[in-house]
Amino acid sequence: MKNIDSYTHLRGESVYLDDIPIINGTLWAAVFDSPVAHGRIVSLDAGDAEKMPGVVRVFTAKDIPGENQIGGIVPDEELLASSQVHFCGMPMALVVAESEEQAKAALKKIRIEIEPLEVITDPRIAKEKGELIIPPRTFNIGDTTAAWSECDYVFEGRTETNGQEHLYIETQGAYAVPQENGVIKIHSSTQGPTAVQRTAARVLGIPMHQVEVDTTRLGGGFGGKEDQATTWAVMCALATHYLKKPVKYSLHRMEDMRMTGKRHPYSSDFKIGLNKDLKILAYEAAFYQNAGAAADLSPAVMERTLFHCTNSYYVPNVKATAYSCRTNLPPNTAFRGFGGPQGMFVIEAAIAKTADALNIDASVIQQKNLLRTGDELPYGQKAESEANECWNKAVKLYDIGKLRHEVKQFNEANNLYKKGMALIPICFGISFTKTLMNQARSLVHVYTDGSVGVSTGAVEMGQGVNTKILQVAAAMFSIDPVKVKINSANTYRIANTSPSAASATADLNGKATEIACNAILARFKMVAAEEFKVEPGSVELKEEWVYVDGSKTSWDWEKLVMATFTRRISLSEHAHYTPPQIHFDLSREKGHPFAYHVYGTAIITVTIDCLRGIYEFDSVKVVHDFGSSMNVMIDIGQCEGGIVQGIGWMTMEEIVYDKEGRLRSNALSTYKVPDIYSVPKEIAIHFLETKKDNLAIFRSKAVGEPPLLYGIGAFFALRNALKAFNPDADIAFDAPLTPEKVLMSLYAQTSRDVNVPGRKEVMEK
């Protein structure tokens, strides 16, 4: 089935925040944010700003009627800075004016004095100074200390992965509209309508039932609007609360890039030990997460780094410790993969380093250590693994021998261009790691004409979740999908929702919808059974028709609906779902946190231009574990998008903060994201279809985050291409591997570099 949004998307009719008609009298907000990364506020004078034309009011911390607090996991983040600023871009004042231009003009009239304090941007320095968001956490299995002596090979190293700008096409924003009796309705471009509702209530000092949050769809989220959409929504609500007028704020791209957090950069250490058979016996890692100036979602992101620190491998002895380090950068936040990619990169680097030293291909080590069903992961859950199936299928289907041969031949025949290839297996756990968040509700109404309305807490952000939920309702009732309408996510219809995140939205909300439909279906069957004088068990609905014992009756869907209604039986249901079997014991760091895992293997090939340092990805060939896909088109879209986004993170996207904590890559002219020209020339996706029982909706496994992980392979493919040109280059595990870094590595001086034939020839030309 086609994505139900495709029609309105194509015609430009889909409604995003900026498509909501503006109510007469709407005011416009703009935030004044800190120009320095750390300091004590000596004074803030908005007197001149308030005298500017059109300005209605300037709000500061002292105007907040409730708590000046937006921290979700840890209460450590003010909405508006009161006495100190902790990062460049931290909101200090909110200007509200009759027009957007007037609000922006008034920002320039705010005068501040800030006494500078020490700025920390490096997570390792933060850790040394004891600046940790939460105490460190360690995952442990086996005994690494004892295992080292059994290892024939032991290697240590260090890795860096940089952040990543979400770059959702629709920037952050919100529109607050006053209702009667002090109620505020907020249209918010958020992945978490309940987070917005809860935080607005907290900051305004009003009950949650006074805040209605409504979200039709987002122009992208990628995690960036899981927690950080709240700020702007609450800003608008604050102004509406006082001024009793609609207030809108939709951020300019540069404001968004400057003021919001990104994927967490990590600096990490590893130690890996293998025996002669290349089995990984022991692995130790230390992760220094750059959390930014406040917790935001960092503790949860850090947790997922630990969960995924062994990627798709079985390692019997593991000790991994993670530190969430407080720095003076904007609070970093959720980003597709949620700390998982950062953890996986490190073990892939450890394997690559081992392969270099032993002069073998990394894939030999990767293959020998793939997870098997029954293997215990460092956190206690036993794998139900498709890792070997995906790997073996990829190797065979894409003829790895032939691919290798082609790369070798190409490299022998070319001096100015070199190819590199890498395999990357993935494993990603599906569920919120915080067990309590794994719950969802669905409200299903069957109307008397036979049409159906479904409301859930799922937020459509381009991932196609609404289409999947619609498919669930249509399949359950066996009706034409056009009879089903998916409504906006609204906190007045569906309460206490988890954000649309963790790849789990279709599973959780789809299952709740399945339960709701089933409850209504049971009533339909009772009514039909009574009419046809049979047991409800012999009634069936097939393609909008009632069947009894396999035979078509005189009742169609509409007739059945009306008959149920006229008997005064409810045509509506509000259902609750929570996945069974999941639990986690934080005191032991053991449990069964995930409903299931998603597996896959990708083969990535790249060609570098050894004169310019630029490169093109030839192909990404994937075998991905979809379970039993309920929507092939949407799932392919998620895979392709995830792969390109992952490659972007690993190769070209480079976030630069200077020593003073100022974002230098603060616009699209200085921050390069993949465009259509940087998409691999070929992306092949093979569906490993498994019919095995799992907790996915209709056994169609979650697909939002896992494909991004294939992008990690891009780094190692590039690295291999570099080594084909300059075998002695010592290429740091420092992502992204930008064209600049590639160029430097191509001509890196090493002790033996005079003997590199490829290099010499190029230098002679």
Contact of 556 with 531, CB cutoff 8 Å: no
Q: Which of residues 681-720 bind ligand MOS (CB under 6 A)?
A: none
Could you give the string, one character per residue 480-519, with x where binding to ligand MOS holds by CB under 6 A and - elsewhere? ---------------------xx-----------------
Among 248, 336, 393, 621, binds ligand MOS (CB under 6 A): 336
Asked if residue 742 binds ligand MOS (CB under 6 A), the reply is no
Q: Which of residues 191-210 bind ligand MOS (CB under 6 A)?
A: 191
Contact of 640 with 683, CB cutoff 8 Å: yes
Cα angle 145, 342, 509 (rounded to 5 degrees) comes to 115
Q: Which residues, at least 6 apart from 381, have a Cβ–Cβ distance to it below 8 Å?
A: 429, 591, 592, 593, 594
Could you give the string, one character per residue 175-194, with x where binding to ligand MOS holds by CB under 6 A and - elsewhere? ----------------x---
Contact of 484 with 454, CB cutoff 8 Å: yes
Q: Is 70 helix (H, G, I), strand (E, B) or coil?
A: coil
Cβ proximity to ligand MOS: between 223 and 420 the closer is 223
Task: Determine which helix (DSSP H) or strand (DSSP E) holds 627, and give its type and residue range.
Answer: strand 615-627
Query: Rounded CA gap, 309 and 343, in Å?
Result: 4
Q: Which of residues 220-259 bind ligand MOS (CB under 6 A)?
A: 223, 226
Q: Taking the complex as a whole, how short is the minimal distance between the CB of residue 300 and ligand MOS, in angstroms?
A: 9
Cβ proximity to ligand MOS: between 221 and 674 the closer is 221
Task: Determine which helix (DSSP H) or strand (DSSP E) holds 41, and give its type and residue range.
Answer: strand 39-45
Cβ proximity to ligand MOS: between 305 and 363 the closer is 305
Q: What is the CB neighbour count within 10 angstroms for residue 170?
A: 20
Active-site pick, 284, 348, 514, 705 = 705
Calculate the alpha carbon distances from 509 to 148, 301, 444 in Å: 46, 23, 12
Region near ligand MOS per CB under 6 A, out of 335-343, 383-391, 475-483, 548-556: 335-343
Residue 544: active-site member:
no
Type of residue found at 471: Q
Residue labelled with tokens 């992945």: 191
Q: Taking the complex as a whole, how short is the minimal distance between the CB of residue 334 and ligand MOS, in angstroms?
A: 4
Q: What is the CB neighbour count within 10 angstroms for residue 30?
A: 23
Cβ proximity to ligand MOS: between 642 and 758 the closer is 642
Contact of 335 with 223, CB cutoff 8 Å: yes
Q: Taking the complex as a whole, how short is the minimal distance between the CB of residue 163 and ligand MOS, in angstroms?
A: 13
Q: Taking the complex as a whole, how short is the minimal distance between the CB of residue 332 and ligand MOS, in angstroms?
A: 11
Token code pair at residue 229: 């959409």
Among 41, 236, 334, 571, binds ligand MOS (CB under 6 A): 334
Beta bridge partners of 619: 605, 682
Asked if residue 417 binds ligand MOS (CB under 6 A), the reply is no
Type of residue found at 127: K
Cβ proximity to ligand MOS: between 255 and 705 the closer is 705
Q: Which of residues 508-567 bind ligand MOS (CB under 6 A)?
A: none
Q: Taking the complex as a whole, how short is the minimal distance between the CB of residue 255 and ligand MOS, in angstroms?
A: 21
Cβ proximity to ligand MOS: between 218 and 602 the closer is 218
Among 28, 59, 307, 335, binds ligand MOS (CB under 6 A): 335
- The dihedrals phi and psi of 667, each to the nearest 5 degrees, come to -155, 170
Cβ proximity to ligand MOS: between 226 and 348 the closer is 226
For ligand MOS (CB under 6 A), the number of binding residues is: 9
Residue nearest to ligand MOS (CB): 223
Contact of 270 with 343, CB cutoff 8 Å: no
What helix, strand, coil percent values describe the chain, rounded to 5? 35, 25, 40
Cβ proximity to ligand MOS: between 450 and 510 the closer is 510
Catalytic residue IDs: 705
Give me the residues that bind ligand MOS (CB under 6 A), please. Answer: 191, 223, 226, 334-336, 338, 501-502
